Amino acid sequence: MTTDDTSISVQRTIDAPAKDIFEVLTNPERHAELDGSGFVRSDERTNRIGKVGDVFTMNMEGDHMGGEYQTDNHVTAFDENKMVGWQTAPAGTEPKGWEWLWELEPQGPDSTLVTHTYDWGKVTDEALLAKNLFPLVSESQLEDSLNNLAGASAS
């Protein structure tokens, strides 16, 4: 685990090949089952993530947004079987600077070290920063996401 003023990273070795884990991560239909924060409810568009620049929409719920809302997730990192990441924004708006990144490092044919990072270091909107929302997701919630990914990758 690594935490600094603008990011949190957690790691776990998962007993599954990187390609199987990547298949789960790049399928927005599966993100609700992975989410350790409890915010993600379902995907709105079910296209698999395929490249940097893709956008997928998620149905969300949280008190910080007054209940139900949607996010557009702009893919910022994509390296097949190695890395996928996106910046999140309220639906219909441009990303505000926080990013989710998943990095996969094979540890053999059936084992992968997964690093999950939540980074808000690119947020520049002073009004948003003044609300003290960051970090919106805790280290333990990121660890829960890794645990959920381990279960999802085994099935």
The architecture in CATH of the region 2-154 reads 2-Layer Sandwich (3.30)
Cα 86–chain centre separation: 7
Q: Does position 2 have pLDDT exceeding 80, yes or no?
A: no
Higher pLDDT, 30 or 3: 30
Dihedral of the alpha carbons of 104, 138, 70, 23, in degrees to the nearest 10: 20
| The pLDDT of residue 132 | 80
3-state secondary structure of 64: helix
Domain boundaries, the chain: 2-154
| pLDDT at residue 111 is higher than 90 | yes
List pLDDT tens digits, range 33-88. Answer: 999 888 889 788 768 999 999 999 888 787 666 668 789 999 999 999 999 999 99
When the pLDDT of each residue in the chain is averaged and rounded to a whole number, the result is 90
Q: What is the pLDDT of residues 130-140, one digit of tens each?
A: 878 888 899 99
In 3-state terms, the chain is what percent helix, strand and coil (to 5)?
A: 25, 40, 35
Helix (H, G, I), strand (E, B) or coil at 40: strand
